[in-house]
Structure 1
Amino acid sequence: METPTGTPTRTAAARWAALMAARAVPDEILAHAPASPYRQDPERFRAAAEPPDTPSRRAAVAVLAASSDRTVLDVGCGAGAASLALVGEARHVVGVDPASDMLAAFVRACLEWDMPYQGVLGSWPEALPDTGTADLVLCHHVGYDTGDLAAFAAGLTAAARVGVVMEIHATHPQAWLDPFWDRFHGVRRPAPPTADDALAVLTELGVEPEVQRWTAEPRPVEDPDVRAARVTRRLCLPPERAGEVAEALATHDGPTAPPAERVTFSWRP
């Protein structure tokens, strides 16, 4: 694509990739991290006993109501919070996740909820040949984990027989940590990608999703020590500095958690 003067313009997909690459943890910090800053606790992604009535769940139920087999593919399934919110609506769930502990938690949850399932260990969209297609493809809070959002989203569409429901934060969920990267590492992080950037990528692919913007219910209050330990790991700091991190969190005058604003994209292939 070129401007009228012949100067190449950046596509939405290229802009997304550049924004994500610019926010990568610097190699010299990552090399000395005592633990991976990308590891997540599966317990934080468990399905709620009473699934919240969100726009994402309502969009998913509508897709299943229009399907015959009522099969679900949960991309980046974590411990199954998205797909197991559809117990009673879905007949079979396939969960795919690149983290073995997350996939194990998904399997345990499916057994607990008596949900027929298949678990696939792998990254998206590379895992598509192993997952196959489904009536409904879900993807909750994984978009900001990929630099190639165009290929990722195209894979979601390719896997869906009836519809796709994708939920993300309104802005990068780790952007609230930017002041702490500056405080502890002297790293000033650039502006994060947002849901509007993601929408531009989808539009560029020819996808015209229904867009619903909403506010999530607050998460349960987390134990301060557990929270400080989690943020310490996120910041690539050793565990013995958790006290400093706890103090920084307690005295920070800005956001100290991801934003509550969510965006649901839903579309039919």
Structure 2
Amino acid sequence: MDAEELAARWRERLESWAIPEEILAAAPVDPWCYPLARFATRTDRALAEPDDGPTMARLAEALPEGGTLLDVGSGPGAASLPLRDRIGHLWAVDSSAEMLEELSARADKLGVPATTVEGRWPDVSGRVPEVDVVVAAHVVYNVPDLVDFLQALDRSARRRVVLELPHRHPMSWMAPLWRHFHGVDRPVRPVAEDCVALAAALGFAVRVEEREAPLERFDSLGELAASACHRICLDPSRSEEVARTALELGMWPLPRDRWVTLWWE
């Protein structure tokens, strides 16, 4: 398949993850919003316990001492700030002002010069200069127009583009709970191979590494249940019921994700 067909399939498969309107209308909170505290905790852990996995390795080997790094969909900086000793200037793009404030506070504390740009990529790509290396970690499953996204990343990088993503959609683990509580079957695709295939069809010399995720998704069954209530549009008061159901369905302990790193020069 050519890039156009692959891009259309990516978009269609992402759109199939839409939550049915009647369920969404009854949700106590927005199931698609991301809790800031969870991202902040993950960033602090990444800073305290440096990861020597393929994503950080591919970034570090391409980023010169004092080089410039662009982090797209940065959150508080888990994919970029661990490289603090090599970064001459960090550019961070995120649609959340709160996430960027968290990144700025950590960058300032670490002595990393940083410029934040609020907005969606590639809409704000014109506000960012060309840099040595670009990273986009755990972002692409939120990107329906993946061609524009990837091409803008490539235009911004002098040396290398690095992406990290779970092998499956990050909400895939909740499929048994969706079926149990709502009678809804969740999609299977897109998966990481679909992103790799599209990047290759665009002419990028993509290389790929895969590994087990370095972190557990949840530290406790209670944390899993609280997150599931949020994501599957249930009232938080049902978290104990969700925990019992997860045990009955054999969902705890939850297996670790597989994470995929892809990069090109």
State if a TM-score over 0.5 links the two structures: yes
Alpha-carbon shift at residue 178 of structure 1 (Å): 1.1
Report if aligned partners of 1:167, 1:263 keep a CA contact under 8 Å in 2.
yes
SS of the residue 1:164 aligns to: strand
| Equivalent residues in 2 for 1:123-202, closer than 5 Å | 123-202=120-199
2:104 to 88, 107, 113: 107
Call closer, same or farther: CA 1:151–1:57 in 2, change over 3 Å: same
The CA distance in 2 between the partners of 1:29 and 1:258, in whole Å, is 27
| Aligned residue in 2 for 1:56 | 55
Report if aligned partners of 2:70, 2:135 keep a CA contact under 8 Å in 1.
yes
Call closer, same or farther: CA 1:220–1:37 in 2, change over 3 Å: closer
Call closer, same or farther: CA 1:109–1:60 in 2, change over 3 Å: same
Show CA shifts across 1:214-262 (max 9, x none). Answer: 2222338524433322211111112222221121222222476474211
| Aligned residue in 2 for 1:91 | 88
SS of the residue 2:107 aligns to: helix
Report if aligned partners of 1:71, 1:93 keep a CA contact under 8 Å in 2.
yes
SS of the residue 2:31 aligns to: coil
Partner amino acid, structure 1, of 2:14: M
2:11 to 7, 17, 26: 17
Alpha-carbon shift at residue 74 of structure 1 (Å): 0.4
Alpha-carbon shift at residue 32 of structure 1 (Å): 2.2
| Aligned residue in 1 for 2:214 | 217
Report if aligned partners of 2:217, 2:256 keep a CA contact under 8 Å in 1.
no
| Aligned residue in 1 for 2:232 | 235
Call closer, same or farther: CA 1:17–1:220 in 2, change over 3 Å: closer
Report if aligned partners of 2:117, 2:127 keep a CA contact under 8 Å in 1.
yes
Alpha-carbon shift at residue 200 of structure 1 (Å): 1.0
SS of the residue 2:87 aligns to: coil
Structure number with higher helix proportion: 2
The CA distance in 2 between the partners of 1:113 and 1:257, in whole Å, is 34
The CA distance in 2 between the partners of 1:231 and 1:97, in whole Å, is 24
**Superposition TM-score, scaled by structure 2 size:** 0.90
| Aligned residue in 2 for 1:5 | none
Among the aligned pairs, what percent are the same residue?
35
| Aligned residue in 1 for 2:37 | 43
Show CA shifts across 1:133-162 (max 9, x none). Answer: 211111100011111111111111111121
Aligned positions, number: 260
Q: For structure 2, which runs of at least 5 residues remain unmatched after alignment?
A: none
Report if aligned partners of 1:77, 1:95 keep a CA contact under 8 Å in 2.
yes
- Residue 255 (structure 2) pairs with residue 261 (structure 1): no
The CA distance in 2 between the partners of 1:170 and 1:203, in whole Å, is 17
Q: For structure 1, which runs of at least 5 residues remain unmatched after alignment?
A: 3-8
**Superposition TM-score, scaled by structure 1 size:** 0.89
Q: Using the TM superposition, name which of 144-153 and 247-256 deviates more.
A: 247-256
Partner amino acid, structure 1, of 2:78: A
